[in-house]
Structure formats: C-alpha cells, structure tokens
Chains A and B, each alone.
Chain A
C-alpha cells in the first residue's frame, strides 16, 4: 500500500473539491474579475487558494506545490499575456507539475489560439458567465487527467 500512496492523479469524478490557485501576474491591478471568479468557483464547490495581486511565476509554482493545487487560474489585463502566459506554462513544466493553466481577462481574439498553442488550457474574456468559468476549469482538469 505504501508503495502506491505517493501519486494518486486526480480523476474527474473525485468527490473531494477541486483546488484552484488564482493569481494576477506582475504589475496589473485589475483584480475585480479575479475576485468574481473566486466567488464563482467557490459557489461551484471548489476550494480557491487566492493569491491576489503582484505574483510571480515562482510564487505561483510554490503555492501550487504547497497547496497541491489541481488548476492554476490567471487573470490578465495588462496586455502582457503573450509573454506571461507561456512563461507560466513553461514554469509549470519545468517544475514537473501536472497542472493546467486557465486564463481570463483581456485577450484579443487573435491571441487566443497562440496561447492555446503555447499550452494554455482555456482562455475566457469579459462577459464570461459563471457556467462558462466553471465549465472551463472542470474541462481543463478532466483533459489533464485524461492525458496522463
């Protein structure tokens, strides 16, 4: 038993709440959306580890490891997404973490596919409904665990 107890990858029908790390990367003070998303995910039964403003890829990775998070959610409004989002995905890979990165905020339509190509699991924009936000997070976890 102790041989297998180390890594139990999460399956989609796991009854325990999903754990989501939410953060803003760098100098971007728009945290209204992130707060809305935090409440939305909590109301959907998830545990939100809210890091808030001025995080770095390192601080997010550290939180993810310590909190054994299932998803990283970033909110981006400062036009830095094309650099910051792929950098986050890269950092997750480097750390050997098996955690999808979901993004929301201001991302022009033409950038969405670039980010998906770079390994971002989902991109949501202004007006995304609570249902869409919850579905995107759940789908990201499901796809990740299916890909294992």
Chain B
C-alpha cells in the first residue's frame, strides 16, 4: 500500500496518488538530503509539461485567473503551485490562494501552496524542483503563481515557458517602479478587473510601453479579463497556446529551457558557496585572519581573500 522506493513513489504519484505526490513535494520544498535524490529521479522524466508563470501585485486576481486557466486548459491533469511570502518576523504564512481557486478547478487539479520560507535564495531552487516533481508525475500544464513585487519573485515567475503578468486598472506606482523588470519577463499581459473603470486606459499604457521596446519577434499581447466572472479567460488561454506554438516554432523553447537549467545550476552553486562561506567563518572565527581583522591589522577584504583561497585554491584560472 505505501510505496517505498523512489521509483514506486513516482509511479504511485503518476497513478494519481495525491498523498505520495504531496510528500515528494515536501521533500524538495525542504531542500534536505532527500531533495537531491528526488530531484534527480524527477529530472529523468521531466520536460514534458508546459510551465506557465502568473505574476502580479497582491490582490490583482492571480489566483482567480489561475484557477480558471487550469479549468479552461482542458487538460486531464493540470497542477498549480501557489507561492506566497512567509512572514519575515515569525516565519509563518497564511496561504489563501486555494479559496479563489476551489470553485473553479476540477478535482483532478493538483494544487500546492508554498511559502517562501525566507531561506536566502532557497526558493530559486525549491520551485524548479517542485515543478520538476509535478512534471515527472505527469501533470501538465503546471501553473506557478507568485507575487510579483520583488525581483526574486519576478525571477521565479519568469522561470517558466510562458510568463503572464497581471495588472489591474490604475495599477500605478508599485508596478511602474518595476516596469522594466516586468516588461522584460512578460510574454502575455493581463489587465484584470476589467469590470472596473479605466481598464482600457491600463491597456493603452501597456501598449505605449510595448511600443517603446518589445523583445525580439514576440510582442506581448494584452488580454482584458474579469476573472471573478470568468470573462476573457478563454482569450487568455488562446494567447497561452499561441505563445506555446511560437516557442516551438522559433526554437525559443529549447533556448529558454537551456538558459533556465543553467541559471538553476548557477543558483545552486551560489547557495552552496554561501553555505560553505558561513561554515568557513564559523570554523575560523577567533583564528588568525579574523583575529587580525579585529586588531585592524587586516582589512575584511584581505581576510576574505585569504579564507576564500583556502576554499577555492585557484579561483581565477583565466585571469
């Protein structure tokens, strides 16, 4: 009944065992020793699913849209990964995205809520792993919802094949501030809450922005939705599919995925190094180099250089 080997667990997850899949996701979420093995196993089968990122300001309607999107996709087994910030003070979180999805999604949709848990940069590796596990379990599409305010969250949402950026009428300053960042990642813009005044104004602003400079051969379309009524979601899905075709036809899909995996490896190296740097400091505190920093004989920069040399003997082979 309870599958033991990893192969059996993935088999069970593929066969629709939600509990086993839930546990596998917990393992990668924790990024403990098990996570490496799970990720490894998942990677063998992953790469089939379309990954769609949905990002935008809190309250813009991402969850409502995401729930509808999973439904209109017509897929047998869609999955949703909904990411919300942990409280920096207590580490706790209220993950309330399911409320906005429950009424729309069918029972074959797998929804997982994830808190950012504040481990520095950890999310950048936990999320791709979670997507990988869902992918290997046969879910497709996989829709990742993140709050797109900070650079980190935007980056995570952008780690998708297709990134949907949600704005609302009068989206104003918060988004304006990160305009360049959003423009860069958006494959599709949604102006949600089109039932409110000035949705057309918001669309016009976006058009002007796009006129100033859009990327390569894909200009992000702008879709108006009223997610609470399910209006415009069919149009949105049609644009997602159009973008999927573009990705395939242009070869951009392979390039994107390649770039994504490279940056994931880089993120992991960075995390690992940071971890080792902390351990190095722990191990050497009170020792020679750090002691001399205390006595103002050695600068922090020079001490770092010395310690780093012991970590990575020859750190600039090319120089």
Contact surface of A with B, Cβ cutoff 8 Å? 1-8, 16-17, 38-39, 41-52, 55, 59, 62-63, 65-68, 95-97
Q: Are B5 and A3 in contact (CB under 8 A)?
A: yes
Partner of B21 from A5, A8, A66 at Cβ < 8 Å: A66
Most B Cβ at <10 Å: residue of A5, A47, A95: A5
A52 and B34 CA atoms in complex are apart in Å by: 33
B48 proximal to A (CB < 8 A): no
Q: Which residue of B lies closest to A97 (CB)?
A: B19
Partner of B27 from A5, A51, A55 at Cβ < 8 Å: A5
Can you list, as one digit per residue, whether each of B1-37 has a CB less than 8 Å from chain A (1) or not (0)?
1111111010000000011111101110010011001
CB distance from A101 to the nearest CB of B (A): 16
What are 30 A-B contacts with C-beta separation under 8 Å? A1-B34, A5-B6, A5-B9, A5-B37, A6-B3, A6-B5, A6-B6, A6-B9, A6-B20, A17-B91, A42-B90, A42-B92, A43-B87, A43-B92, A46-B92, A47-B113, A48-B93, A49-B95, A49-B98, A49-B113, A50-B95, A50-B98, A51-B99, A51-B102, A65-B18, A67-B22, A67-B112, A68-B23, A95-B19, A96-B19
Q: Are B92 and A41 in contact (CB under 8 A)?
A: yes
User: CB-CB < 8 A to A50: which residues of B?
Assistant: 94-96, 98-99
Q: Are A62 and B92 in contact (CB under 8 A)?
A: no
User: CB-CB < 8 A to B38: which residues of A?
Assistant: 5
4 nearest interchain CB pairs? A42-B92, A68-B22, A65-B18, A2-B6
B50 proximal to A (CB < 8 A): no
User: CB-CB < 8 A to B26: which residues of A?
Assistant: 68
A120 and B83 CA atoms in complex are apart in Å by: 31
Q: Are A6 and B23 in contact (CB under 8 A)?
A: yes
User: CB-CB < 8 A to A16: which residues of B?
Assistant: 30, 117
Additional A-B contact list (14), CB under 8 Å, known A4-B4, A42-B87, A48-B92: A5-B27, A6-B9, A6-B23, A39-B94, A45-B90, A45-B91, A50-B99, A51-B99, A63-B111, A65-B18, A66-B21, A66-B112, A67-B112, A96-B19
CB distance from B210 to the nearest CB of A (A): 37
User: CB-CB < 8 A to B90: which residues of A?
Assistant: 42-45
Most A Cβ at <10 Å: residue of B20, B33, B94, B102: B94
A42 and B94 CA atoms in complex are apart in Å by: 6
Q: Are A47 and B37 in contact (CB under 8 A)?
A: no
Q: Are B111 and A66 in contact (CB under 8 A)?
A: yes
Q: Which residue of B lies closest to A50 (CB)?
A: B96
User: CB-CB < 8 A to A42: which residues of B?
Assistant: 87, 90, 92-94
CB distance from A8 to the nearest CB of B (A): 8
Known: A5-B6, A42-B92. A52 touches B99 (CB 8 A): yes
Partner of A1 from B7, B30, B37, B110 at Cβ < 8 Å: B37
Q: Are A67 and B6 in contact (CB under 8 A)?
A: no
